[in-house]
Structure 1
Amino acid sequence: MSAAKLDLLTSSLWETLYMVAVSGGLGALLGIPLGILLYTTKPGRMLQNHWLHRLLGIVINATRSVPFIILLVAIIPFTRWIVGTSIGTTAAIVPLTLGAIPFVARITEGALNEVPGGLIEAAQAMGATPWQIVRKVLLAEAMPGLIHGLTLMLITLIGYSAMAGAIGGGGLGDLGIRYGYQRFDSSMMISTVVILIVLVQLVQSLGDWLVRRYDHTRH
């Protein structure tokens, strides 16, 4: 493979890592609190609010039901308003983040649902505030599940970032389409696929290691 192609692969890899890292970070930053709110406002929970819980559930389900390729196109005006353009890696971060937030929210809710109710009741009996329960009990106990879910989210975003290349989002997906498919360059297509596979394997391995580290039930 020529040096020019290697440079293209390298720059496209960094674009993919940039998109996934930023959108994954923003998705976790916004999605985890949303998932906590979804959990705590459920009837019978510490901050129960039936209508808020129901509204959050409807919004999250509606957002998750939209296929990502449609979301990419549908929010082009919003993306252009946020970053000033609808093309490029920075522009792709907007739909990637919007796709990640509801995914992370449901992951967080599911992980928190696995925390034994007895631990929460014990914390309440000792006079812990809702915030203390969330921080010291719920998140601490749900950490392995959260890490596992966030790992799946990052892997999903890698696939989504490749899909974003279909509309000029940059990254490995864009490179594979422009050079591998449109120019019938099989070596470039194979290279992008291999890099994506390796990237997914690395993320999954790191996630599995972190889960083992934080899962105190294994120690």
Structure 2
Amino acid sequence: MSSKMPPAVRAHALQIAHHEMGHYVVARTLGFATGGITLTVTMDLRHKGGASINLVQPIPSMEAMKAYLEARIMVLFAGAMAQTLSCDLRVDKAKATAILNGAFGAERDDAKLRELRQLLRNILYPETNLTSTDRITTELKAINDRLWLRAQDIVEASAHTVTELGAMLVDRMVLVEQWGRPADTYEVVITGEMLERLQAVQDIAPVGRPENSGRVFEG
């Protein structure tokens, strides 16, 4: 089990587990249905992780679309934020920004964020002149900063849950046997059903839940 992990591997695994649990916990808080969590970490600190989040929701109005996009952006912010939680359970903004800019392989989150921010800005400011680049930049920054602060508040308010679930995830990692060569990879798969039975998950109070089905994996 993970108790035999080299200290550097365990420390890295905990960071990535916090990242995935950040996506997971904030998604549930904002009303998205969730599935399972996966995590793989190698001895040389390569990793792959995913949190299954149901993105299918009815969007009957433009206001609902705005709310959906805002929630989705906050869920994407949450992974990098949770990964940087310090001993006092505070988010390190500089480190979280660096993660989204490419550290530890979070480029996919940032790419999604860029597109969703622009889509939200297009909806909020439909009369934009395409040549007003300074104004567009200012509007995008305002959207980013507002949702960043809201996401940070949720992550820090949920920090005990994120770290508790992250430690549980790492504690269940096992060294994978590999035929013909030494095993060098720890991995864990926790199904949605298993997570739903945990008290820490049951205690997360969502503001609403999407209907239907259809999942994506956050990285």
TM over 0.5: no
Decide which structure has the larger Cα Rg and report it: 1
Higher helix fraction (1 or 2):
1
Name which structure has the greater RCO, CA cutoff 8 Å, separation 6+: 2
Higher strand fraction (1 or 2):
2
**TM-score, length basis structure 1:** 0.30
**TM-score, length basis structure 2:** 0.30
